[in-house]
Structure 1
Amino acid sequence: MATVGSVDVEAELVAWMKAKLGVRVVTDLPADLGEVLPVVQIQRIGGDDDGFRLDRAFVAVDVYGATRPAASGLMAQTRSLLLSELRGAKTTAAVFTKARTITAPAWRPYENPSLRRFGASFEIFCHPVS
């Protein structure tokens, strides 16, 4: 939940990435995940802020695909967007100022053996629009 002077980084990234990737981008996985692939999941996993405007969010990104190449390819596209196009991007509520990789994309096991998952984590700096 966003507080005064802060940004709901998950919500803003979901909207921005949906527009850029043209795939389903969510914070919570759908119950029918295997039927709606590919899916990108965004979750804030920590970070800090200055108590006024600047937010430094640690964000986990998991990509789900039907095959390993599909999931890996979508993760590569997602990472490229975050590192090359997010800086300077503006949404209705946020301005993104910097992004960097914390943990590089890697294969991650998933309980459903018919799905493939790649994950990475990023540090995202942003502040409210106003």
Structure 2
Amino acid sequence: MIEIHLIILCLVIIVSGIGCIYLIRKNVLRYGVLFCLSAISSSLLCVFFYYNNLYRFVYPLPVILPAVILSFGFLILFITRFRPETYTFPFFFMTLNVTFSMEIILKDAVGFIEFRGGWDF
């Protein structure tokens, strides 16, 4: 099971990193600043959750933090870059659905996420 967790972690880092680089190349100043802000906020939130015993990943915080920063940054850059001018509700609805579906798959099928706190149940 640990091998699957490492494969998932490496895939998230590689795919999110490639996606971030691709999107940042479009407009370095705009998307670079946005990525830096999302990296700061995601790392602060991850540390906040860790110190409040709401941390849910199987691996320790230093191992998971690069994947969290890159995947959250890619999500923010993707939403910003490909946001439609009209019919924004279906776009945001599907984006959130895919995000929560991936969380459920990582929890139930792979065991990558462990729900520990009372707020998870």
Query: TM-score, normalising length from structure 1?
Result: 0.31
Query: TM-score, normalising length from structure 2?
Result: 0.32
Structure having the larger proportion of residues in strand: 1
Structure having the larger proportion of residues in helix: 2
